[in-house]
Amino acid sequence: MKKLKMSKNIKFGLGLGFIVLLSGCSFRPDMPEVQTNVQMRYEFEQYNLNDKWWQEFNDEKLNELILSALANNSDLLIALNNLESARIQMNLSKIEFLPNSTLSGSSTKSKANANQDSSNSHSLSGSASWEIDLWGRVRNSARAGIASFKASQYDYENAKLSIITSVANTYFTLVSLQNQEQILKDSLASYEETLSYRKAEYESGNVDELVYSQAKASVDDAKSQLVSLQDSLISTRTALALLAGKDTSFILNGDLIKTTPGDEISAPTIPSGLGADLLERRPDVAAALKRLKAANAQIGVSIANFFPKISLTGVLGYASPEFDRLIVNEAKNWSYGGSLVMPLLDFGRTYQNTKIAYKDQNASLLNYDKTLKTALGEVHDALKLRQNASEKLKASRNLRDSWQKVFMLTKARFKEGYSTHLEYLDAQRGLLSARLSYAKARLGIANAVVEVYKALGGGFKLEKPLDSDLD
């Protein structure tokens, strides 16, 4: 029986196919076990957060400030720049899958000595080289690049959330401070009226100097409180301008954000039964897991460096002593083949780099665990603090209403001559103090609601499950 003989080209093709088949192997270790199914369930139904949750406060000024911050905030622009850098790095890692190709040409004229004629040489050639990813080095490098980019994406989302919540909290503080300023001004006027009354009594000899001095001290204390609050107003306006990305001239000229006196903070109601899958809702948790996956892929890259790099190369070109006869079939030349580069003696560099890669993975695992636990704590605290803020608001509202009733009764008695002027002023200051507590409680509930939105990721949602493949 006649044996079939395979040509060299067929043998080469089969060998190439075998190598490509083997290139599916990878030295990337299994991912460490992590919590990926953490659920926080409460007694009420699930609630999906709006990704523009701040609009639920129904405050056009707040909406305007947040839009300005998203477009102009310096920290957010820095985060966006970092994201774009990560995108470029990811694209570079993907390009490693593609062959490297070059085009070269030369034209020379040479003469060995005076007795010989000169010779000409012209060439034009293109070459291509492709690394066979036999050990998964290129694939794992790409995996790491993709994971790092995703982490940067989630970092950007987390930066957005942080800026938005800072703008909201600062704006609500500004509104509350301005309301408190008016209350403190009214309180100061009341204390000054009491002082005037006591001064007249002191000069007529009806009260001693101690009573007069106590009234004067109350006025001085009220003035001090008012000035301190006004200082807070100035710094809060400036902080809000910076957060909103206002330019330097806007800030330096003092043309800062102002609210209308009497503005009220209207906080939306969030169901007590918020359910939260933190891995899907928290961008910081998602980013930490992606960095863990990137570190895991880098181990595969480090281990692959122990093994040879195998590349296929091919060259196609033309060479001729006559330039006008360069691009003809007779001048064509070609070659193909392969190359192997294997580490021989690196004095432990690859081994140490692999140990570092494992340590980096462990650090990423610890950071992921810390981030997850921190997120769980923030959700728990935010929901509890929101509940407590609601109780404080209710209590302060009842206190305000009670003092309103006391003031109205005292005012009526004073007009009828059954209460003294001082009793009337005391009831007035009691009401003003209750109003001040109520204003602070309204700020507390607004801040608490914002923190709940922040703790639950502000409407962030993963585009695909976290445990899916990176590619």
- pLDDT for 2 equals 41
Residue with tokens 């006004």: 230
Q: Taking residues 448-454, report their average pLDDT.
A: 91
pLDDT at 71 over 80: yes
The amino acid that residue 329 corresponds to is: N
pTM strictly above 0.85: no
Write down the CATH superfamily of domain 60-105+120-459.
Outer membrane efflux proteins (OEP) (1.20.1600.10)
DSSP state of 466: T
pLDDT at 441 over 90: yes
Q: Taking residues 445-461, report their average pLDDT.
A: 88
Q: Taking residues 63-87, report their average pLDDT.
A: 86
Q: Taking residues 285-301, report their average pLDDT.
A: 90
Domain borders along the chain are 60-105+120-459
- More confident of the two residues 109 and 139: 139
Poorest-pLDDT segment among 68-82, 296-310, 314-328, 355-369: 314-328
- More confident of the two residues 391 and 110: 391
Q: What is the DSSP string of 315-374?
A: EEEEEESSGGGSSSGGGEEEEEEEEEE-----TTHHHHHHHHHHHHHHHHHHHHHHHHHH
Sorted by sequence, the CB contacts under 8 Å of residue 58 that are 6+ apart come out as 266, 268
- pLDDT for 347 equals 83
Averaged pLDDT of the chain:
79
Q: pLDDT above 70 covers what percent of the chain? A: 73
Are 65 and 167 a contacting pair, CB within 8 Å? yes
The amino acid that residue 388 corresponds to is: N
Q: Exposed, middle or buried, 208 (CB in 10 Å: 0-12/13-18/19+)?
A: exposed
Are 90 and 148 a contacting pair, CB within 8 Å? yes
- pLDDT for 201 equals 86
Q: What is the DSSP string of 232-299?
A: HHHHHHHHHHHHTT--HHHHHTT------TT----PPP--TT--B-HHHH-HHHHHHHHHHHHHHHHH
3-class SS at 63? helix
Q: Taking residues 40-67, report their average pLDDT.
A: 73
| Rounded distance between C-alpha atoms, residue 191 and residue 408, angstroms | 19
Q: pLDDT per residue over 108-138, tens digit each?
A: 766 556 566 666 776 767 777 767 777 878 8
- pLDDT for 84 equals 85
Are 271 and 452 a contacting pair, CB within 8 Å? no
CA 346 centroid distance within chain: 41
3-class SS at 108? strand
- pLDDT for 343 equals 77
- pLDDT for 451 equals 92
Q: Taking residues 233-245, report their average pLDDT.
A: 88
User: Please, which residues bridge with residue 110 across strands?
Assistant: 119
| Rounded distance between C-alpha atoms, residue 180 and residue 102, angstroms | 72
DSSP state of 205: T
pLDDT at 26 over 70: no
Q: pLDDT per residue over 212-237, tens digit each?
A: 899 899 999 999 999 999 999 889 98
Q: Taking residues 373-392, report their average pLDDT.
A: 89
Poorest-pLDDT segment among 94-98, 136-140, 210-214, 299-303: 94-98
pLDDT at 147 over 70: yes
User: Please, which residues bridge with residue 334 across strands?
Assistant: 316
Which range of 35-39, 88-92, 177-181, 277-281 scores highest in mean pLDDT? It is 177-181
Q: What does each C-alpha distance from 54 to 157, 266, 335 come to in angstroms?
A: 15, 11, 65
Sorted by sequence, the CB contacts under 8 Å of residue 243 that are 6+ apart come out as 65, 69, 73, 163, 166, 167, 170
